[in-house]
Structure 1
Amino acid sequence: MIFLGVFIISCALSALLTRLWIPCVNRLGIIDKPDATRHLHVKPVPLLGGIPLLISFALIISALVLFSSYLPFQIKLPASSLISVGIGCLIILIGGFFDDKYRLPWYITIIFPFIAVLVVMIGGIHISNVTNPWGGIFSLEQYSWQLGSHTVWWPADIITFLWLLGMSYTTKILDGVDGLATGMVTIGALVITVLALFTIFYQPDMALVALALAGACLGFLFFNFHPATIFLGEGGSIGIGFLLGILAIVSGSKIMTTLLVLAVPVLDVAWAIVRRAVKGQSVARGDRLHVHHRLADAGFGQRGTVIFLYVIGIMFGVAGIFLKGFQKITVLGLLAVFVIIVLTLIHYATRYEVVSKNKKTG
């Protein structure tokens, strides 16, 4: 019952705070104006939606920690880790606020999540081991450097840094369509909940944390689904990916399962980096060539695109629950091939449509 209660309260609190926050943002005048070269919305929409979402999550986690003596189990995360996550989220929200208000260049905005990731790593959060697809566990703590009183596990810390920064920017890019980022993080958090509750590892405390995140995202989604009345903004879109990445680590390194849920956007981000690098463009440059943009332009519309990607995320999330090591890698590989085929078909379909329209008008 406690699990359902945490989910419902987190959802209700997030929805309430978001509803109260929308008029405040409108008065501040921090809104996202339509830009046909990058965005799909046609009307100005307030930003900074990540603030009520992350505050809701923080309040629920704080309450769970404060009243942990009344729970049948303890929240096992060390205080240093919890504090570092809170500081990291605050840094991301501050950076996001200034970016939403002043449109900072990418090389300034990346500083904030960069620092946030370092803060949580100093707080003790890192990927200590990975599952060997052919059996067993491979430890990432075999090699270390001693910097004063702090030990740097360099393979673990490098992989952790890349993982958290990658997750943060994956959800940022996902936020190009109403409700996509928040919905996918909700799905990811719920999949982690199932893994935490119904596997041999049994981590009820991590299930509560995952449900708090899922509930906060779902509560915000009521206002963020198409047609959105508020956007996550820079801080929110980066912040929820940052939290999901941390959750995947602290819940027992459920990295591959989280990757399966977000496989399409992760592959999309990887392809975008390659595409822009080949063209000699900045990898941080925004465009409308992402999977969700192509699907929307191909006739799916915003709602159709989001629901389609939700379904894929749920399917592969369920697969991640039941599949083991090498099977997950195989499925991820097959999904990569599937994404390439879909993108190719969409490319030629939209190209054919443009040519047909030109012939008719010509």
Structure 2
Amino acid sequence: MISTSLAGLSSQPFWLFAAAIALLAALVCASILQLLMKTGLAWRLAVDIPNARSLHNRPVPRVGGWAIVPVVVVATLLAAPTLWLPAAGAAFLAAVSQIDDRRGMTARVRFGAHLLAVAVLIVAHMAQAPWWALVVIGFLMLWLVNLYNFMDGADGLAGGMALFGFAAYAIGAALSAHPSAGLSVVSAAVAGSAVGFLIFNFHPARIFLGDAGSIPLGYLAGALGYWGWSEQVWPIWFPALVFSPFIGDASVTLLRRLLRGEKVWQAHREHYYQRMVQYGLGHLRTATLWYAVMLAGIILAVLALDWPPLLQWCSVVAWVIVLVLIGISIDSHWRRFITARSEQPEV
């Protein structure tokens, strides 16, 4: 168990400890996944069968959550037991989502489980904020849980975003004016687990996250973000800026489908990242470009922690404008791709 009173958490021993936790998490996660693949158990737990809306063309085991979640839960209980509640919520959602991966589950039951996990966290660890603000934050956390699942559709994308996003949490929690060693170490464990998963998920992917991986990761992104804000480790905008590429893509896509009256819970290929893969960039270049965008936003977020509040919010607005321009560029490329494809003569 580590102390949460390390002044500034800027000492070399702490950074070495956090790095060791991340490295150990990566090794254990990769070892579990290697064992699941070698024994063939991965194919019996859950398999993603490609369909018309998939970006892959062969069956792939969906067992990433079977390694990431246990590693994060154990690391939390051993190194930062004060954060047991987010870890317990992630384990609960992993169990529910595994049932969904195996047998399917109605949207109502899935949403009920997500709502329960978020509500318990907020009620048990209530921030000093008006009730309506907590309701809004709870809704945003629910959205983060689900959008992470929506964004798990291209090789290396969701795993890479987990690596960068939770590494940013680890750094931000350590460099904050009100640092949290526990939050930093747990975030480092999630980032390390993502590295172990990426060994098998980077293009061409041999393993997918599955709902048992993506849903808990989305929950942890929201839960740890909320925890850091409630403990005054970082401002409310920090978690949103860190995961802004995911949030922006999923939110715009959802709004478009809602306006067209479509069933938003059904699978589709309309996300920005899916269109990038389809119009010729492929999985590898798409993931690499998204990594670059997320890294740029993370650097801005970490630097802005030391800025005056007004400048912080100005940087958030500026970054939103950048993301809007990126979205416009992708839409433009997509329209040209569709036009060119429609003009091709039939064979």
Short-chain TM bin: 0.7 to 0.9
For residues 127 and 331 of structure 1, do their structure 2 counterparts lie closer, same or farther at Cα, with a shift above 3 Å needed? farther
Q: Where has structure 1 moved over 4 Å in runs of 4 or more?
A: none
Q: Which amino acid aligns with 1:219?
A: G
Q: Which of 324, 337, 346 is the equivalent residue of 1:337?
A: 324
Contact 2:96 2:113 in 1 (8 A): yes
The offset of 1:29, in angstroms, is 5.5
Cα RMSD, aligned residues only: 2.0
Q: Which ranges of structure 1 fall in alignment gaps of 5 or more residues?
A: 66-74, 129-139, 142-153
Report which stretch shifted further, 314-323 or 346-355: 346-355
Contact 1:127 1:253 in 2 (8 A): no
Q: Which residue of 2 aligns with 1:11?
A: 26
Confirm or deny that 1:32 pairs with 2:61: no
The offset of 1:318, in angstroms, is 0.2
- Structure 2 counterpart SS, 1:110: helix
CA–CA distance in structure 1, aligned partners of residues 42 and 71 of structure 2: 20
The offset of 1:168, in angstroms, is 1.0
The offset of 1:9, in angstroms, is 0.7
Q: Which of 272, 277, 293 is the equivalent residue of 1:291?
A: 272
CA–CA distance in structure 2, aligned partners of residues 56 and 98 of structure 1: 20
The offset of 1:14, in angstroms, is 1.0
Confirm or deny that 1:2 pairs with 2:17: yes
Q: Which amino acid aligns with 1:298?
A: Y
CA–CA distance in structure 1, aligned partners of residues 190 and 264 of structure 2: 30
Confirm or deny that 1:361 pairs with 2:342: no
CA–CA distance in structure 1, aligned partners of residues 66 and 173 of structure 2: 27
Confirm or deny that 1:326 pairs with 2:313: yes
- Structure 2 counterpart SS, 1:286: coil
Q: Which residue of 1 aligns with 2:10?
A: none
CA–CA distance in structure 2, aligned partners of residues 56 and 29 of structure 1: 18
For residues 26 and 192 of structure 1, do their structure 2 counterparts lie closer, same or farther at Cα, with a shift above 3 Å needed? closer
Deviations 1:146-166 (A, max 9, x none): xxxxxxxx2243123112212
CA–CA distance in structure 1, aligned partners of residues 143 and 43 of structure 2: 33
Q: Which of 305, 313, 333 is the equivalent residue of 2:294?
A: 313
The offset of 1:282, in angstroms, is 1.7
Q: Which of 260, 272, 295 is the equivalent residue of 2:241?
A: 260
Contact 2:70 2:91 in 1 (8 A): no
The offset of 1:294, in angstroms, is 0.6
Q: Which of 205, 214, 239 is the equivalent residue of 2:191?
A: 214
The offset of 1:335, in angstroms, is 2.6
Contact 2:73 2:91 in 1 (8 A): no
TM-score, structure 1 length as denominator? 0.83
Identity of aligned residues (%): 22
Confirm or deny that 1:349 pairs with 2:336: yes
Contact 2:141 2:222 in 1 (8 A): yes
Q: Which ranges of structure 2 fall in alignment gaps of 5 or more residues?
A: 1-15
For residues 292 and 100 of structure 1, do their structure 2 counterparts lie closer, same or farther at Cα, with a shift above 3 Å needed? same
The offset of 1:320, in angstroms, is 1.0
CA–CA distance in structure 2, aligned partners of residues 29 and 98 of structure 1: 10
Deviations 1:299-353 (A, max 9, x none): 1101111111010000111011122422233223313421331232122221222
TM-score, structure 2 length as denominator? 0.86
Contact 1:91 1:113 in 2 (8 A): no
Report which stretch shifted further, 101-110 or 208-217: 101-110
The offset of 1:297, in angstroms, is 0.9
Q: Which residue of 1 aligns with 2:226?
A: 249
Figure out how many residues of one structure are paired with residues of the other and give that number.
321
Q: Which of 152, 159, 170 is the equivalent residue of 1:193?
A: 170
Deviations 1:273-292 (A, max 9, x none): 22111211122122101011
